[in-house]
Amino acid sequence: MLPVKTILDARNLLKHLQQEEGSLGFVATMGALHEGHLSLVNRSVNDNKFTAVSIFVNPTQFNEKHDFIQYPRNLEDDLEILSPYPIDLIFAPEALEMYPEPDTRTFDFGGLDKTMEGKQRPGHFNGVAQVISRLFDIIRPDRAYFGEKDFQQLTIIRELVRQLDLPVEITGCPIIREADGMALSSRNKHLTPEQRTAAAGISKALFLARDLAGKLPIDKLQEQIISLVNDHPLMQVEYFEIVHEENLQGVRNWSEAGGKIGCIAVQVDKVRLIDNINFSS
Ligand code: AMP
């Protein structure tokens, strides 16, 4: 299927679809597609009559220009990967199509965007909110699918939808991992074989954290996990936080009510990776 490059063409195609009855599912991606993305596409295809996928490396969510330039892009490969799926629209605009003028909107997500990724990557979630609200406005999906791999992003998108009162249902989908536990990510493509082997230690540390949950005080567990990962000379932990899954505020005691999640960001040489583990599952 050929990608649609303009908003006008996307809207025309969608108008055509809407003449038939049935829900529209949507998966937003930045391309460099892998099984993690495909799990969202599969879910959308199963849940809905129509599915739209976007491929757009959104400049406004990158707080580092170098990271934006280096981000892997290969539209040809992505189209090939999507070709077996019954997708009704692949929307792959250029940046100027999405932002003919600079997007100056600012969002406030309360405490949700002040911690973890929000703290380490200033402006990142504002950019995410800009592009997702814009994509929702263009595609107008009934349902949209996001990975729990980016747990904080998923929480913020739910809040965005709540704040703007958008008529879209957000579904979170489980993290897809390699056989050794490593979470799939487009950024894994940048890892050398040696770094890739080291990076498997991130998910191993998270699985250990799950085993130790409730058995060690929160701060001791954090220390243990951070030093386990940092013991590897190629890896440096940016943060490992244990937070409440609803409000992303730090958990002080395992006895506190509600779901808890451990989120980690690790610099593996120049490649920054994130992962998380749900302590309730
Ligand atoms: P990205 O292309 O990195 O912006 O990701 C697009 C969507 O795919 C987001 O909702 C991600 O959370 C999701 N995603 C990325 N990696 C995975 C994974 N390993 N498992 C499940 N979903 C993922």
- CATH code, 7-173: 3.40.50.620
Task: From 263, 278, 14, select the one nearest 138 (Cα to Cα).
Answer: 14
Please tell me the residue having the least CA distance from ligand 1 atom 10.
146
Average pLDDT for 161-179: 98
Please tell me the residue having the least CA distance from ligand 1 atom 7.
29
Backbone angles phi, psi at 275, to 5 degrees: -160, 170
Cα–ligand 1 centroid distance for 216 (angstroms): 31
How many CB atoms are located within 10 Å of the residue 16 CB? Answer: 11
Instruction: Produce one character per residue of 241-275: b if its CB has 16 or more CB atoms within 10 Å, e if not.
Output: bbbebeebeebeeeeeeeebbbbbbbebeebbbbb
Whole-angstrom CA distances from 19 to 45, 66, 99, 141, 176 are 19, 44, 29, 14, 35
Sequence ranges of the domains in the chain: 7-173, 186-278
Q: Residue 281 pLDDT more than 90?
A: no
pLDDT digits (tens, 9 = 90+) for 6-17: 999 999 999 999
Q: What is the pLDDT of residue 32?
A: 96
Average pLDDT for 34-39: 98
Cα–ligand 1 centroid distance for 36 (angstroms): 6
Ligand 1 within 6 A of 60 CB?
no
Cα–ligand 1 centroid distance for 146 (angstroms): 7
Query: Which one of the listed residues 16, 37, 190, 244 is annotated catalytic?
Result: 37
pLDDT digits (tens, 9 = 90+) for 104-137: 999 999 999 999 999 999 999 999 999 999 999 9
Same CATH fold, 186-278 and 7-173? Answer: no
Look up the pTM and report it: 0.97
**Which top CATH class is 186-278?**
alpha beta
Ligand 1 within 6 A of 173 CB?
yes
